[in-house]
Structure formats: structure tokens, C-alpha cells
Amino acid sequence: MSSISEKTAQDVERALARPSGRVTLEDFQALISPAAEPYLEQMAGLSHARTVERFGYTQQFYAPVYLSNVCSNVCTYCGFSATNQIPRKILNDQEISDELDAVKALGMDHVLFVTGEANLRVGVPYFKNAFKIARDRFSSISMEVQPMDQEAYEALIEAGLSAVLVYQETYNRETYAAHHLKGMKRDFDYRLETPDRLGRAGIKKIGLGALYGLDEWRVDTYYVAAHLRYMEQTYWKTKYSLSFPRIRPHEGEFEPKSVMTDRDLVQLICAYRLLSPEVDLSLSTREHEVFRDHAYKLGITTMSAGSKTNPGGYAVDAQTLEQFEISDERSPAEVAAMLRAGGYEVVWKDWDSTYDGFPGVGAVNRGQRIPAPV
Amino acid sequence: MNDEPLKIAGKTFESRLFVGTGKYASGAMMRDSLEASGSQLVTMAMRRVQVDGSEDNIIDYLSRERYHLLPNTSGVRDAKEAIFAAELGREALQTNWLKLEIHPDPKYLLPDPIETLKAAEELVKAGFIVLPYIHADPVLCKRLEEVGVAAVMPLGAPIGTNQGLATRRFLEIIIDQSKVPVIVDAGLGVPSHAAEAMELGADAVLVNTALATAGDPVRMSMAFRLAVQAGRIAYESGQGARQQQAVASSPLTAFLGE
């Protein structure tokens, strides 16, 4: 923390003067330091310009789909913690199908499957089956579930998996141990090495991040940045995305060690964009409407909308069993309209499963296939 | 050198400015920019195209009478994926024209020469009209020519960087050696870059980011249109001053008399 808090205005100005793509980790420390706070408007301007240069005036949409909230971990901050007495649910085939139909009807073409950790009942066979159901409806399928072995990822990639999001929660071992009390998630190193297993498995995209507030948020953001840099150098064919889950004060019986304010979050979004012109930056419906309506121009490239964070939440009306409370409850169409009014186009589709050798979404007549090269 | 229009795979193009369709703020803005550009050939990423008849498709904004559609395979990381993407383009857009674009590195989006050559060979055999996007590598261009591509598309600078002709020297070599049309693609950030490429003797240029992300895409498209025309006319008119210099000065041999 000391090296970040010791950064000066001069360090910040040096970082801001770097040409696009040449910002270092040292520069990043300056950009997320308190010394950068007076420069927020300038950072926002630069971040906006660099994002537009790389991504154009577009935002990608995705829909989280909770398949199961059964979880064998005990984590102090999570609604699905094993010790919480809530009704547990694992969606069956029909329920998955109904859920996906409801999501498809909202216009979505990219789903993010989310589950708790329950490897016996919700493991590779369960996911393979879920992908099979999803593949003829969605062009992209991502996952945010328990960390798995490399072989498991290879099997799922073969079955249609595009991206995996796995947040380290915090890179501070002691803090990590204090919040993960029981279950497989206690293993800090196994989780930390998950992105490497994903890279070796050849996944298209990996999502990194931390739960800001478990520890000093500035320190965790730096570790995420360092992790990103390491991954980019090592697995150079993989795309990356970053997300910004942050703990609100007074949530349940749990007080965060540090609080990331809205202003801090904007500073972080801009700092990541300056660090990496090409990383995807994702903003979920956890953030409130007003924030999202302004933040999307500051470096964000992908957003969820119309999210339901309970298993079966799209098909069934009841808002029960949620993992976290949603602050932006607007439908995808409403958020799309907001973006259009701001001069942005929504990208619903950014892949085609025919590229992976699957028959593809929709009614295209496949005709003669040419054999792939050996 | 005369004012012949551009010919690729038997098709004639009056305009030597090709344009992409990515990054635009809206379909309408894209449509208006394309119109202002005067372009007759438009590329689109098949990963973005809704092939199941969904609404608000890129294709809906593109009149097929006006534009020749060139599906591209951007997003794929190897030859296998590229071939699947090519098939999708052929079936969905009913064209065997293809811009082959394989960039496994998401940071700089530089094309993979090995996968591109591999895929180009297969696709040409399968009846595609292949226009490969590549680094400005003169040897690679000749190798691709040998497997039967319809043109080559060497980059000026990495995609979206607007840096202009960072590969100028190699573009000159390619233009000198190529028997197929040379289309300079990627990195052209301002109209003068496009004019410069045409003055070197490029047969066409492809521009996307510079138009879509301009403050006024429609006017910028008009500017690029004029620049491409100006550059081509300059090229066809010959580089007069330079020739005079070479002819007029022969100080070394003047002593020999005539």
C-alpha cells in the first residue's frame, strides 16, 4: 500500500503522458493512487478516447444465468454461503431450457452461466449438458463457477465454452483465509492458478478481478493489474476482461476493510483502460442506473442488463434466493435505448458457434462443408 | 499507366476506397458514411452478422445493388476457425468472396502468416475468392499469390492505431513485385495516409476506424474519397520531378561526350 500512497502528482502526470499501450505497472500505481484524484476528468477523457479508438461506439451485452445456488463453501460475504439457510436449487433440463428461452426473448446472444461450488452434482457433466441446451440458442457461452482442472476446461471448451470469469476475491492471503472459512475455495493457490489452467487449455477469454473492499482496494487493483500483465505475456492468444465487484458498506453483518466509492470506481475504470487499451471492462447490474448511464462512456465495453441473479429468475417471477441485489433493474431493451440515446450501438452478437464447428444458431442451411485442414 | 478501373477476380470497381463497417455509433451513421465514401466494396465481420434473421442487422443497411459485400473472418485465431467462418459467410451472404483475417493476438491484432497461408490454400481450392489480410511481408505476398489469392491486403500499421504507413518501405516492394492487386489495409488514420498509399501505387485502400470514430464520419468519408482519388491521379500522372532529376544530371559520365 505504501508505494501506491506515496505516488505524487508528478508520477501521475508521467503516467498520463505515456503513449497509448506504453503504460507500465508503476504508472498504474500512480493512476490508482490518491494523488490521481484531482486528475480524474483528464483520465476520463483519455480513457474515453482510447476506448473509442479500439472498440468504437459500441457496448457488448451479456446475460448472467444462475443455474444453481448449491454451494459447499462458506464465504463471509456471499448470499450462497453454505451456512445460509436459503432454499437451494439446481435447474433441471426443462428449467434450463425455459430460462434460456426467456433470456433469448430479451434479445441476448451471450450467456454467462453462474453457479455456486458443488462439483459432485454441478460439475463437468452438468455443464456439458447445459452447453448442449444453450448452443443452438446462443453464440457465446461463458462461465463463472467453481475453479476446475485443466482437463475439465479442455472438455468444456470442446463443448462450446468461450470464456471463464474467476475472481481471486483478494490477493492478500491472510485476508483471503479470514473470509473463506470452509470448502474447496479455502485453497488460495488453486484459485490463483485457475487463469493459468485456462490459458493452457486454450480458452478464448479469461475474466479477472477481485472483490474490492475485502482488503485495501487499491492494493487488490494493483495485483489484478499485475496478474493481467503476467497473463497477457504468458498466454498471448487469449483475450481478457476485468470486472468490478465491490462491497457496499452495511451489507448484511459484514463491514468491508475499505470502501470503493463511485468516484474511486471511475478512477479505477480509467486506470485499467490506460493500462490496457484492449482489455474488456465489464459493468454489471450491481451498479445503479445513474452510475451506469454515465460510466459506460468512460472505458466500459461490456454490460449485463435485465439480469436475474437467482436460479430460474428469468422464467419465474419471484425475486428470491438472489446472490446479490440488483440495482439496475432495467430490461435490455431499456438499457439499449439509453445507450443509443448516448450515441452508442449495442453489440448483441460477437461470435458464431459455427467457427467452433457447431451447427450454429438459427436456420442457416448448412450445405456442403469443406474439410478443415489437417 | 492509364485510367483503368480496378479489377479484382473479374469484377470492376470504379472506387478504390474500400470500407469496413465496425465501430460505428449506429447503423444509420454507418450507412450515411458509406454513401459519402463512394465505396463499392464493404467488409463486415461475420461474427457480428445475425444469420438467423434477427432484427437490426448490419446487412440491412447495405444495399447489394450498391455494395459488393466482403465478409471477413476477424475474431478467429487459426486456419480451422477461419474456414468455418468462411463457410458461414458464403452461406449467409451468398458470396464466395472472402477477406481472410486471422489474428490470434488480441493486443496488436497482427495477422498470423502461417495460419493465413494454410487457410488461403484450402479456401482457394474450395472455390473462394480470397483476399488475405497480412503483414507487409513481400515474400508472404508472393507465396499467397502462388496459392491463388485474388489480391493481397498488407497492413499499413496495426489495426485501429491510425499510424499511417509504418510499413511503407515494404509496401513499395510488394507493389513492385505483385501480380495481383495490392490493397493497403489497416492503420490509415487520416486522408493523407490514404493518398500516400495510392501515390506509392497501391491499387486500393481499406479504411474503417478512421471513419467510424471520426468526429463527423460522413465528412471524413468524403475526405478519404477525395484523398484516394487524388493519390491515384498523382500516381497515374507519373512522378515528373523525380524523372527530370534522374535524366538531367549525369555528372559522372558527361566527360565522355555523346
The structural domains of chain B, ordered by start, are: 13-248 (3.20.20.70)
A354, A362, A366 member nearest B53 (Cβ): A362
Q: Do B49 and A347 touch (CB under 8 A)?
A: no
Taking chain A (374 residues) in runs of 10, the rounded mean pLDDT of each run is 90 96 96 98 96 96 96 93 93 96 95 96 97 93 97 97 97 97 97 98 98 97 98 96 88 80 97 98 95 96 93 76 76 96 94 86 44 37
Rounded to 5 degrees, φ, ψ at A77 are -105, -5
Q: Which residue ranges in chain B fall short of pLDDT 50?
A: 1, 241-246
Q: Which residue of the set B99, B118, B125, B142 is catalytic?
A: B99
Establish, for the pair of chains A and B, how many residue pairs have beta carbons separated by less than 8 Å.
Answer: 116
The answer as to whether A340 is a domain residue is yes
Q: Does A122 reside within a domain?
A: yes
pLDDT tens figures, A82-137: 999 999 999 999 999 999 999 999 999 999 999 999 999 999 999 999 999 999 89
Write down the pLDDT at residue B95. 95
Residue B77, Cα to own-chain centre: how many angstroms?
20
pLDDT at residue number B66: 93
**A205, A238, A354, A364, best to mutate vs chain B, most B CBs in 10 Å:** A354
Q: Which residues contact B198 (CB under 8 A, 6 or more apart)?
A: B16, B205, B227, B228, B230, B231, B232, B234, B235
For residue B82, what pLDDT is reported? 97
Residue pLDDT, tens place only, A217-262? 999 999 999 999 999 999 999 999 999 999 977 655 678 899 999 9
Q: What is the pLDDT of residue A253?
A: 64
| Cβ contacts of A370 on chain B, cutoff 8 Å | 83, 87, 122-123, 126
Residues in A touching B47 (Cβ below 8 Å): 139, 349-352, 355
pLDDT computed for residue A309 by the predictor? 87
How near does any CA of chain B get to the CA of A256, in Å? 35
For residue A74, is it within any domain? yes
* φ and ψ at residue A54, rounded to 5 degrees: -85, -45
Contact between chains at B213 and A349 (C-beta distance less than 8 A) = no
Asked whether the beta carbons of A143 and A163 are under 8 A apart, the reply is: yes
Q: What is the model's pLDDT at position B108?
A: 95
- DSSP character for A28? H
Nearest CA in chain B to A232: B107
For strand B129-134 and strand A345-347, is the pairing parallel, antiparallel, or unpaired? unpaired
Q: Residue B1: its pLDDT value, please? A: 44
Q: Hey, are the CB atoms on B122 and A232 less than 8 Å from each other?
A: no
Q: Where are the beta strands (DSSP E) in chain A?
A: 58-68, 74-75, 110-115, 140-144, 163-165, 180-182, 205-208, 239-243, 280-283, 302-304, 345-347
CA–CA separation, A188 vs A191, rounded Å? 5
Does a structural domain hold residue A34?
no
Give the residue from chain B lying closest to A139, CA to CA.
B47
Contact at CB, A55 and B53, closer than 8 angstroms: no
pTM for this prediction: 0.91
B6-8 and B11-13 beta bridge pairing: antiparallel
Which residues on neighbouring strands pair with residue A184, listed in sequence order?
Answer: none
In a domain, A29, yes or no: no
- DSSP secondary structure letters along B133-196: EE-S-HHHHHHHHHHT-S-BEEBSSSTT-----TTHHHHHHHHHH-SS-BEEES---SHHHHHH
Domain CATH for A208: 3.20.20.70
Please report whether residue A26 resides in a domain: no
Asked if residue A330 belongs to a domain, the reply is yes
* A73 and A180 Cβ atoms separated by less than 8 Å: yes
Per the structure, the complete domain to which residue A131 belongs is given by 45-350
Asked if B80 and A373 count as a contact pair (C-beta separation under 8 A), the reply is yes
- The number of distinct structural domains making up chain A is 1
Decide if A237 and B53 are in contact by the 8 Å CB cutoff.
Answer: no
In a domain, A182, yes or no: yes
- Separation between Cα atoms, residue B106 and residue A349, nearest integer Å: 18
B229/A99 Cα distance (integer angstroms): 54
> Would you call B99 a catalytic residue per the annotation?
yes
